[in-house]
Structure 1
Amino acid sequence: MNPFRFQTVPTLVVETGAARRLGTILREHFPTEKRLCIVTDSFLHKSGLLNPALEDLAGHEWDVTVIDDVVADPPEHIVLEAATRARKANAEVVLGLGGGSSMDVAKLLAVLLPGTQSLQEMYGIKKISGQRLPLVQMPTTAGTGSEVTAISIVTTGETTKMGVVAPQLFADLAILDADLTLGLPSAATAATGIDAMVHSIEAYTSAHLKNPISDMLAVKALELLSKNLLLACENGNDRKAREAMLVGAMFAGQSFSNSPVAAVHALAYPIGGIFHVPHGLSNALVLPHVLRFNAPIAAGLYAELAAVIVPDATGSDEAKTVSLINKIDEMITATGIPRTLREVGVQKSDLERMASDAMLQTRLLMNNPRPVNESDAFAIYSAAF
């Protein structure tokens, strides 16, 4: 066995209704702190979803500042403005509540507030110096796994994104409350759920840092996600399915934090960056086509994953891989989300630029089981078109 290191969030709370006693939970973990900064989006704040949590926080003497202007794919100025507000409030604990974007911004606030580095100095891998404020994460979607990852993605230009990857971004505490995901629309449920499945598949087949713990988590994540995705899409109030999706997405997040993702994500980034397609949907659009591209090299590993999703698949590794890809294709189709690039506004003339942009994602492409060059990326986009 190759040497490996596995890192994750030290404390996880999985409890339906946990948001209603958030003040209690935080007081148990942070007995002396008083000033809490909640990072979220305006919809979650204005919808009243936070109200029970805010009431319990007040009852446990938390002085709360809510920053609710996070948007999908947050640009730098959103992060910096949020940091200014949190600094003025003298925040002692930061809590990210929402989808991946809110949790990503929360991570950055936790390291920006006590530090002297600029955000730009943090871009890259292990560029953060110093420590951070206490950090808590509460997801409201089952997809990104950001509550247990050490990465934050920031939009740095009209079509470009940068990642901050550092162990300081692991939270102290992640709280998973299925009630926060009830009623999430089917399209968002599908896109985020497929995103989590991609995390599992790519972690299991990663060319670098693949390890037994990540493998174990990826397999369990894929089992939970594949069995419950359509149930959660069909009935947004199915608590059992929602909780299974949350736990599956969290396991997938732990897995890919230590065995990193690859070409599906690399090719998804230009779709999101140029056409402002949600990240999970961007992944879903290219997933089957990247799997087919990787199949000649990764069939042995894909066959092992087929045993989770299509346990009745038989024959050679190649045949089981075909069954796996067809099953994933069927699941994506059944959710009703877009299946082709043209459905999200991509023109045939855009594919060359997208392929060129995808090549910039060297941090991700290096993890793919099969090397991807620009002509390969163009071919994958063409198949997805």
Structure 2
Amino acid sequence: MSKICAKYIFRTLFRIQEHGSTNATFTNVHRRYASSVNSMSVVYNEYGNPNKVLKTENCQLSKCLQADEVLVKMLMAPVNPSDINMVEGTYFMKPKLPAVAGNEGVGEVLDVGTNVKSLKTGDWVIPNQAGFGTWRTHAVADYPRLRKISNDIPPLSAATIVVNPSTAYRMLKDFGNLKPGDVVIQNSANSAVGQSVIQIAKAWNLRTINIVRGRDNLDDLVEQLKQLGATHVVTEEFSRTPEMKELIKSLGAAPKLALNGVGGKSATELLRHLASKGVMVTYGGMSRQPVVVPTGVFIFKEVTAVGYWNSQWNIENDTSPERDTMFEELCDMIRECKLIPPPCEIFELENYSEAVRSAMEGFQGKKKVLSMQDFQ
């Protein structure tokens, strides 16, 4: 077992003590209420700067559920870039206002309506689609809006499984027709998606070339990514040198698949390194620069450049067996410690503003995650 894996299991299964003491034993909690339960939510009534438009709101949720309803106690929810963009009003998907913030998270079922057969008290659930509103302590929702997830995995893994691991899984599964031994190249390799790509690729016996930005602690980052399973880790600067071509040559095959989360010149370099008839999938644009494709790679290498948006895939595959299979395989990897989340900072929900402010300050190496466990 790697040092990273052992540390992760200890922190998520026993006790997390960052930004408040948070008990991470999540079963059989908060059942001592009568006809209603007090819920605190992080809401916004207008789009804008999250530091200004977000606020907390308290309300009483009735325990007298309608036939199709489920009462959920939220456990954990991350602060993702898409959450910030949705509050700002710059995300492609815009919820109806007023709205509860947060697209991803995990909760425990406290009670179900008489028509609900797929869920029972004690089950863990994740949102079935984006826009659910996970930054709250409790929710009442119709059961189709929820999806059961295994409750024998760490809560942090369950809370962060919908966006980043799923995006990585689908891109590796659906593009490039990959086989064991094939090479995948990606930029933004130290992002949450990038770290999921590294781990899933290793589990599937794929080799990875991982491009990161140069930094002072580069050696530490390289070691972290290699512990996760990265085959090679190089900088953006190195990827533009003749030595990069030698590295690819030493692998015996050029990358069949490139994953682009940056855009701009970084995406152009990925295309240059692709094998003939290779595929580049763009899932993000951290540089806020357009993807520029050299004419030669289209004509002479016949590469394909496509985009991927995980939320759209979820909508199109709402009831697909392929979606069930994906979550089952991801949970298997988590149980086997082949897939762990990136380093995280845990904030109690009442300190959401600190978590949001920190998340908006730029890359810091740790994902911000809200915990609802201490709410009474």
Instruction: Give the shorter-chain TM-score range.
Output: under 0.3
Bigger CA radius of gyration: 2
Q: Which has the higher contact order (CA 8 A, sep 6+)?
A: 2
Please identify which structure carries the higher helix content: 1
TM score, norm. by length of structure 2: 0.28
Query: Structure 1 or 2: larger strand share?
Result: 2
**Normalising by structure 1, what TM-score?**
0.27
